[in-house]
Structure 1
Amino acid sequence: MSIASPAPPMALTRRDSQISTNSGSGIRPLMPENPRVQELTASIECMQQKRRKAEEDLFQAEADLKVKNSEVKNLEIELLTLEATVKQLRVQRVEANKRLNDLDTRVAKLETVCSESQNRLEEEESRLQKTKADILQARENSGQEDIVLEQIRAEAQKRNERLVGAKTALEQQNTKFVAFVDEINTNWSEKWLVKKLRVVVLRNRLNKCVIFLRE
């Protein structure tokens, strides 16, 4: 903003100019001095001083105004720079908030995963402790189980021996019955028929006993 230049001072009349020239040059005026002329001369000189003072003030004001305008322009440039910086900072703040939200989401997921892993670890530790306890219990019972196993083996051996003896006896008895049946078949008669039937029944019973013992 610039201040308009003031209008040029009013031109002095020819008489006032002559009086001012004469008074400034030290030449005594032609007309005789009187109070009215002196008063006008003093008034003109005062007006000229005021005009010079006003011109000096105006020049100084214009110089100050130029300085102020330069300062205003600098401030406007600085303001534009600050506005651009603020705008950039706002954009960066939005991006930072997005990243913070993403980080919060990731942290929440990681906390969930860690919690689940901790729970699984506790379960595995519990299972491991139980397995260790079972192993210790099995080791404590292994001696007793070995004794029981030896007893079972001895009992099985005894039963096997008795089974072998029973099988041998049955086979011998069966051989005798077969020979007896062959004898009956050779001497076929009514007298031997009843005996043959009884022998067949007994043979069937013996066969069932043999099958039972084999099982």
Structure 2
Amino acid sequence: MRLLLVEDAQDMAEAVMIRLARSGMACDLAASLDEARGFLDVQRYDVIILDINLPDGLGTDLLAELRAAQDRTPVLMLTALFSVDDRVTALNLGADDYLVKPFDHRELEARLQALHRRESAQKGEEIRVGQLCFNPTAQTASVREEPLHLTRREFALLAMLIRNRGKIMSKERLFEGLFSFNDADVGLNAIELYIARLRKKLVHAGVVIETQRGLGYRLDLDG
């Protein structure tokens, strides 16, 4: 899962990013609306965590822009406001959920997972390719009814490949889905490592991850 956190409180933002990184989530940080727009211009996200009060305006303004552009990326609003009217306004503008500060990081993580599962469910439930069964809602995968034990990033990589079955996915696109801009010490070659791990776990799945030299990778039926 790749997230965008729009929050200007540096201490809180860093604590959130550390927690999410430990859970295998790639998180980019924008400290203002302008920075957030810059990220959104070049990157797609699974969920956006959006503070209401920011140095250059209100998070609800950005939310309204996204929904006006038919961008349905799930948005969780962060707010220090306790007013029911404020929260209702955010929900009416298209927010999917909200969390009042201060909050427990476990609750934030649980809400993010719930939003991601809901979005995945709307895109389709169980997917079967060969002997591989993939369920994005339950976040499970199995081969011949035996569960696959995947790390979060391995699961995210498999999700991208299986949803684009038969299509070539560039190494850069896969990298964007797994790592944040802050993962400066991680190079593109990390994708090769994760692809190798997946291939070993899918050896009896009846599928193959093909390397298209100079182009990327493609998942399809084996033979």
Q: Give the shorter-chain TM-score range.
A: under 0.3
User: Which protein has the larger Cα radius of gyration, Structure 1 or Structure 2?
Assistant: 1
Q: Normalization by structure 1: what TM-score?
A: 0.16
- Which one scores higher on RCO, CA 8 angstroms, separation ≥ 6? 2
More strand by share: 2
More helix by share: 1
